[in-house]
Amino acid sequence: MPNKRISRGFKDISLSFDMHPVTKDILVLKNEDAIRKSIRNLVQTIPSERFFNPLIGAEVRTSLFEFVDFGTASLLENQILLAIQNNEPRVTGTAVIVNPKPDLNSYEITIRYTIIGQDYPPQNFTYILEATR
């Protein structure tokens, strides 16, 4: 039986590179915020965009220029779920729901997951994914 992974906390730097007003250090994202930002960055990363690890990312950008329908939404769900399962070891029980918004030419993405290691409640967040020109 594999050992259950236990963590004491998670920290990531903020990619906005804003400074803390008192310490003048780069802002730090902690625990749920760090994982939420990591998942969102993972979904928005194009595979081969990261030089030393070209397999990280999801193929969602190419699907954004297709018709906004339930077929493309299903494809996006699978791509996002696969990217999270392969590249984010801090979460489990991931579920992705993609609702197409044809009038706005966008998709509403809802991601639900459970953080491994500590007693956090199940997490979810929603954001809009749209093609930009």
- Give pLDDT, residue 110: 94
Report pTM: 0.77
Contacts of the segment 103-107: beta carbons below 8 A, 24+ positions apart = 104/128, 104/130, 105/68, 105/130, 105/131, 106/68, 106/130, 106/131, 107/64, 107/68, 107/73, 107/76
Q: How confident is the model at residue 6 (pLDDT cuts 50, 70, 90)?
A: low
Task: Please check the confidence at residue 12 and state whether its pLDDT lies above 80.
Answer: no
Q: Could you tell me the domains of the chain?
A: 11-130 (3.10.450.40)
- Give pLDDT, residue 5: 58
Residues above pLDDT 90, as percent of the chain: 14
Cα(18)–Cα(62) distance, integer angstroms: 31
Cα(116)–Cα(4) distance, integer angstroms: 9
